[in-house]
Structure 1
Amino acid sequence: LALWTFNDGERTNEPISREHAGNGFLLRAGYTVLWTGWCGDIVEDGEHRLLAGLSVAQGRDGKPITGPNYVEISVDSLTFSQPFFGSPWGTSAAYPSVSLDNETATLTMRKKRTEPATEIPRDQWGFARWEDGRTAPDPTSLYLKDGMKPGWLYELVYTAKDPRVSGLGLAGLRDAVSFFRHAEADNPVAGRLERAVIFGISQSGRLIHHFLYEGFNVDAEEQIVFDGALIHVAGAGKGLFNSRFGMATVYGTAHRGNLSPSDFFPFAPMPQTDPVTGETGDTMARLRVKHAVPKILFVQTATEYWNRAASLLHTDVEGKIDLDVDPNVRLYFIAGTQHLGGGPTDPGICRLPRNPVKHRGPVLRALLTAMDRWITDGTEPPASRYPRIDDGTLVTLETFRKQFPAIPGVELPSMLNQPLRLDLGPRWQEEGIADFVPPVIGKPCNTLVPAVDEDGNELAGIRLPEIAVPTATCLGWNQRADLPSVLSDLDGGYLEFPKTKEAREASGDPRRAVSERYPSRSDFVLKRMNAIEELRRERFLLDFDAVAMIRPATEAP
């Protein structure tokens, strides 16, 4: 991910070519880049993936450990069988059923979380794969005789076996970096590393937050492991990185994954209180005791506020007040962007065209450079730039719906991710063992979303040229085409402005036409160039990225 993000290199698991090195940014800046396996979910598939090889836990008597497990399965097209867990790298190493009959197992289905579930008779499903017109027994795959409906939630509760010691991944990450940073013998970079920064996107970003939450930023010799952490598009999440039958791939969104506790209190890297449970917490509490809190940059897109509960990173859990941000933390919101950056506008499974705005490389290069200076010579990075309650740029769903323009044919969201307070039993907090499977559901936390202007574009945050000088409404949310009112997990949307006044009037679109905003091409180009220069001056763009951005940003609308 580092070469793909900072170097604009070709994405690969085996970086050996000039194309993989991309623009050379990290290497020219003097970075040593280390990748290390930590995730036990990954299986060998010939794609040069980094494996962790985590041990399987056994009972004190040496016998296999078994226990109740919960799996939610949801597909995007009609499917007759599905592995328990999919992931960006294919099939994950799910925990197998203790047997193929597993008579106590249950399967239910529902269209969405707020609707009642229907139990599916045991003779209609099984532990198997559907291959070549017939079933093949498989203790890690669900087969459904009538097929799984796209977008529906299928919830399986079964007895699983052979849990991996997933927390070893956190320890391995700590020890690998500590070795290269501090060891003298057999260390190819001994004495050459001055500082260490950990970087992660999405799942690996959640891993970093959880790593810090568990207190792993101090090694066995009480030495600091990372001076800085750059966490991109992780929302307010952590994960199932140190629990029995935990899967690192699991995360919650507005629609899916709500009963798997990847997002749990405390959410914020500063003191936070839950008035419902009476708990007070701070994700950096363990490290504060050891004086080992690194400098942290959290970077979010709009999608994280809709689907990854990002507001809980900087508000109370009732969504009433802003928290005081720790001086070692910066929060940055890139307005009008989607989870992994821009791509094709084709809708895919979504109702609206998808968001094409590219943000990842240029902004993150600038922020990594700012982090480098912060941990090296103490130069403060740009001030936090994120939506807040006190200035009206962070609002409830109801307020957002009132603010958003009435664009013909656009249905507004009626849902967002509000993490549920879950009770997994008395052993969960200290031992990571769930006794209540599925968990007992409590009151949801209150999350908020960025406020928008008269065009539907977000007001707060780092506003790229496409948002500051717009030709479209750029969204961090999109809805599934096959399920009314259900948000797609990580997709944003894109709604072009009418080109002319006549087109606007004919369509009934309330947004001003492009020709009404920019009387000439030179006017448009000048405004876009000014927006780029402002980002460069504020240190959200490096000089070379600002220059490179001019041509694509100033193409005729």
Structure 2
Amino acid sequence: MHPKSLIGRPPRLPWLAAAAAAAAVAAAPAEARVTRIVIDSVAPLTGQSIPYEQIRGRAFGELDPNDPHNSVITDITLGTDADGKVRYETTFNLVKPVDMNRASGFLWHDVPNRGGAGTIVVDERELGDIGLRSGWQADNAGNTGIPADRAAGINHWVAAPIAKIDGVAVTGKVFARIVNQSGTDSKPLMVQSNPVPYLPATLDTTRATLKTHAKETVDGVITEGPAIAADAWAFAKCDANHPFPGTPIDNNPAHAPGNLPVHICLRDGFDPKLLYQVVYPAQNAYILGVGMAAFRDVGTFFRYETADDFGTRNPIAGFVKGTAMRGVSQSGNMVRQFIFMGLNQDERKRKVYDGAWPIIAGRRVAANSRWAQPDGVLELYQQGSEGPQWWADWADPVRKQPAGSIFSRCSPNDTCPKVIEHFGSAEVYALKLTPEWIGTAGDADIPLPGNVRRYYVPSTHHGGGAGGFAHIPAPPTGPTCPGNNFGSGTLAANPVPHTEITNVLRLALRDWVLKGTPPPPSRWPTLTDKTLVDANKASMGFPSGVPGIPDSIFLPENFAFPVFDYDWGPQFNHAEASGVPTNVPPPIGKVIPMKVPKVDADGNEIGGVPTVLVMAPLGTYLGFNITAAGFHQGQVCNYVGGYVPFARTRAERMAGGDPRLSLEERYGSHEGYVAAVRDAAEKAFAEGFLLPADRDRLIRQASESAVLR
């Protein structure tokens, strides 16, 4: 994972000394694991008919860096204490029936998204399920920052060591980007919506570079802007009362996260037409993979152990019959990375989770390389597409990487979980999904193993929309584009929900794990059935003249974010997405174009699971939107979907030049529309993709709607 010259045995980290001393008191088995849990609070949880309680606490654990279950972690040998072990502290939140005899025996271990709090939903509590959530993201920034009072707060974090050689913190290059900003006030260095987690090793700007870009295309073509001299900027905070050079930032790692985000001050202020890219030497390289192992250890403790080394009882000991890990978006990508790293087997060679459910997640999170940014969403120069993203062994000739899969480590020891994954089309257009289906060569459908089910929800944005049967949305303004100050969309937000498929898959995964009942057959667009095509208007069959959708959006410089084959340097393992990146930012070796779903005459996607709103449409539902203004104007608006309603009448559509049939031409009347919804709901129900309660609710909502009244 790193050159042998980087391996060291630094002294014990001060903030872990107490936990280490306590762990040493007990006679510990040889294998690494959770050694101690601390219960910080117990409170009732309301909303369901079964009495529940919520237990918040922290887990302390240790890792043997030489154990093959842990040696996959980048820099793990650079975070050891004097006894050769690596130690961590992490948060957990456990919800369970007060009377465990009413528990179902099914444990959901949810992966927090950027440290976010939460618990299992009421429907799962009504089933008697147990909910566990614990920290994994060890970058100590934003919502994952370690609070001064570790027993307080509800967000999740992991206290992990930083990489040191002979007691001295390693340094290396880190980059950050500032976009769509103006004025003379200083600007923070952000990734997604959280601070870049690494502090400058020096405030000397001659050791860093600050460049500008006048334009970046979706397919990676850069137009350079004016250079900024070292004496024209500073690592500082500045405003009208503190003009350039402002007040220097605090870059002492001992004060993190209180000194984040890092701020940049410019002598001449920021130009909103330019993107600013800074590369600087950083010093606090968190060993991020320790957080991944901590998540594993917490999961296996609550599944298997009776008590910790100090006699503190596991509150659910003996009641767990089946388990699944689950994550949404960034945390769903963590699920995939977790399995890829072989972490679904603990140090005693036990399977940790029987099932896994990565939701709207088609890549692996960047959490096992030095200086990684787990908050990244695959904007330019961000890690996450490296190595195999598919479930079956498959070659990667385009990037000249060995054949492999996410299951490469768990298959030989039979610890791979049963996997259900589901996505919408926003993941195709902006989150680089389709190589998971067809590889980097893009010339064949990769087969799914028998323990994986895949469901594609057509014409939906990231996580689905609000649902309902509103023909004209209120308000009709465009949604905010996700990402680092990306902008907003020109089209209304896509309303097509994921609620119904989520309700189906929740029960399907439980039954698959607890009873062995197979879920419905997989459904997704493929090359074989010609529903997966090149990412251009002609191949998609997208209709011309749809209001608000110019042909320019389909050009390669604006459409369908491709995978980039980056060269991160010789110390980075490109197949593993581990090691040390030294090319920062990395050169782009190849651009790997995406495939996208084919669409019908309305522009709605063909293929995937049956969805009532798409089968009985009120307009064109898009997995993409168009950035309204700013640096990304005219490009796909990151991973948010759009909606273009149909005209109500033929006269209205003819006046607007709309090629799509109007509502009256399609359905005739309100009753006709309700009949179309009823037919769609019955079809989805018959095929196993709609629960009876949801079927009845959708028909009732359509009947009560104002469509064609």
TM-score by length of 1: 0.90
Aligned match of 1:497 in 612, 621, 646? Answer: 646
Is the contact between residue 540 and residue 599 of structure 2 (CA under 8 Å) also seen in structure 1? no
Matched, 1:94 2:238: no
- State the alpha-carbon separation in 1 of the partners of residues 188 and 285 from structure 2: 17
- Could you say what secondary structure the match of 2:409 adopts? helix
Could you tell me which amino acid in structure 1 is paired with residue 455 of structure 2? Answer: Y
Is the contact between residue 456 and residue 473 of structure 1 (CA under 8 Å) also seen in structure 2? yes
Q: 1:543 to 1:421 in 2, by over 3 A?
A: same
Is the contact between residue 400 and residue 449 of structure 1 (CA under 8 Å) also seen in structure 2? no
Matched, 1:308 2:431: yes
- State the alpha-carbon separation in 2 of the partners of residues 157 and 84 from structure 1: 11
Matched, 1:533 2:672: no
Matched, 1:246 2:372: yes
Deviation of the 1:331 alpha carbon: 1.3
Deviation of the 1:137 alpha carbon: 2.1
Q: 1:150 to 1:337 in 2, by over 3 A?
A: farther
- State the alpha-carbon separation in 1 of the partners of residues 306 and 443 from structure 2: 51
Match of residue 189 from structure 1 = 316
Matched, 1:123 2:254: no
- Could you say what secondary structure the match of 1:208 adopts? helix
Q: Which has the larger radius of gyration?
A: 2
In structure 2, runs of 5+ residues without a counterpart are 1-44, 50-91, 96-117, 252-261, 308-312, 467-474, 480-486
Larger CA deviation: 41-50 vs 315-324? 41-50
- State the alpha-carbon separation in 1 of the partners of residues 411 and 293 from structure 2: 19
Deviation of the 1:132 alpha carbon: 5.5
Aligned match of 2:247 in 125, 136, 139? Answer: 136
- Could you say what secondary structure the match of 1:289 adopts? coil
Q: 1:30 to 1:154 in 2, by over 3 A?
A: same
1:506-527 alpha-carbon deviations (Å, 9 max, x no partner) = 1110000110000122111011
- State the alpha-carbon separation in 1 of the partners of residues 349 and 540 from structure 2: 53
Match of residue 397 from structure 1 = 535
Q: 1:67 to 1:179 in 2, by over 3 A?
A: same
Is the contact between residue 127 and residue 142 of structure 1 (CA under 8 Å) also seen in structure 2? yes
% identity of equivalent residues: 30
- State the alpha-carbon separation in 2 of the partners of residues 435 and 356 from structure 1: 40
Aligned match of 1:517 in 653, 666, 677? Answer: 666
Aligned match of 1:64 in 150, 165, 169? Answer: 169
- State the alpha-carbon separation in 1 of the partners of residues 125 and 570 from structure 2: 49
Could you tell me which amino acid in structure 1 is paired with residue 224 of structure 2? Answer: A
Matched, 1:208 2:208: no
- State the alpha-carbon separation in 2 of the partners of residues 79 and 354 from structure 1: 33
Q: 1:79 to 1:39 in 2, by over 3 A?
A: farther
- Could you say what secondary structure the match of 1:298 adopts? strand
Is the contact between residue 318 and residue 447 of structure 1 (CA under 8 Å) also seen in structure 2? no
Structure with bigger strand share is 2
Match of residue 145 from structure 2 = 43
Alignment of 1:71-82 (within 5 A): 71-75=176-180, 80-82=185-187
Aligned match of 1:166 in 288, 292, 296? Answer: 288
Alignment of 1:419-430 (within 5 A): 419-429=563-573
Is the contact between residue 496 and residue 614 of structure 2 (CA under 8 Å) also seen in structure 1? no
Match of residue 262 from structure 1 = 384
Match of residue 554 from structure 2 = 413
Larger CA deviation: 161-170 vs 111-120? 111-120
Could you tell me which amino acid in structure 2 is paired with residue 437 of structure 1? Answer: V
- State the alpha-carbon separation in 2 of the partners of residues 438 and 265 from structure 1: 18
Matched, 1:346 2:477: yes
Alignment of 1:227-376 (within 5 A): 227-235=354-362, 237-252=363-378, 257-279=379-401, 280-343=403-466, 345-348=476-479, 349-376=487-514
Match of residue 349 from structure 2 = 222
Q: 1:523 to 1:151 in 2, by over 3 A?
A: farther
Q: 1:156 to 1:34 in 2, by over 3 A?
A: same
Q: 1:162 to 1:21 in 2, by over 3 A?
A: closer
Match of residue 9 from structure 2 = none
- Could you say what secondary structure the match of 1:35 adopts? strand
Could you tell me which amino acid in structure 2 is paired with residue 355 of structure 1? Answer: A
Larger CA deviation: 79-88 vs 215-224? 79-88
Match of residue 4 from structure 2 = none
How many residues are aligned here? 537
Deviation of the 1:436 alpha carbon: 1.9
- State the alpha-carbon separation in 1 of the partners of residues 266 and 454 from structure 2: 44
TM-score by length of 2: 0.72
- State the alpha-carbon separation in 1 of the partners of residues 160 and 531 from structure 2: 44
Match of residue 24 from structure 1 = 122
1:162-196 alpha-carbon deviations (Å, 9 max, x no partner) = 11110011100100000000001221100101111
Match of residue 10 from structure 1 = none
- State the alpha-carbon separation in 1 of the partners of residues 410 and 509 from structure 2: 19
Q: 1:144 to 1:487 in 2, by over 3 A?
A: farther
In structure 1, runs of 5+ residues without a counterpart are 8-12
